[in-house]
Amino acid sequence: MTTLHEALETVYKSCRQQLFTCALHVTRCPARAEDAIHEAFSRLLRMGRMPDDLKVYVFRAVRNAAIDQVTRFRKLGDVHSNNGAVAIFESHDGPADSASKREFQSRLETAIASLPEPQRDTVVFHLYGELTFKEIARLQGVPDSTVAARYYRALEKLRAELKE
């Protein structure tokens, strides 16, 4: 029988980049995204029981911890805020990376950020978190069809925005 600690370690090892990207999406700050992940896993390790769908539960915990980070720092009047100017894409192309690719990524990030929160979360969880619609539905507490509709509406808005 797998312990909670072992199961969490497995989820972390297989999803660490996706968890970071989802936390970064909420916090818009790499350091706070890391803090949110650490905080979430600390809470999860203390819970003592194994949830039904651990992967979905972990993503929800990380998202909630990221929201807590944002709320906490907003209340403190954080002067180190970067006003959302953080890239969620990692560039591994080196110095030859084209300006047009960077420009497109910047436009895409701006377009994603402008989506209504339920659509934005659905896109981020699906594309960057690599969660299925069924997992996102459990995470958001809505029917699968709602997630699919949010995703396709978001894609239409992104297509329209990026055509300009």
State the Cα–Cα distance between residues 115 and 155, nearest whole angstrom: 10
Q: With a cut of 70, which residues of the chain have pLDDT below it?
A: 1, 75-98, 164
The pLDDT assigned to 48 comes to 76
Please give the C-alpha separations between residue 136 and each of 26, 60, 110, 131, 150, in angstroms, as whole numbers. Answer: 16, 9, 22, 6, 11
Contact 4, 43 (CB under 8 A): no
Asked if 120 contacts 113 with a C-beta cutoff of 8 angstroms, the reply is yes
Q: How much is the pLDDT for 61? A: 92
Identity of the residue numbered 160: A
Cα 108 to the center of its chain, rounded Å: 15
Structure confidence at residue 77 (pLDDT) = 60
Nearest to 125 by CA among 71, 68, 56: 56
For residue 113, the model assigns a pLDDT of 86
Any idea which architecture 98-164 has in CATH?
A: Orthogonal Bundle (1.10)
Q: What's the pTM value of the predicted model, to 2 decimals? A: 0.70
- Each domain of the chain, given as residue ranges in start order, spans 1-84, 98-164
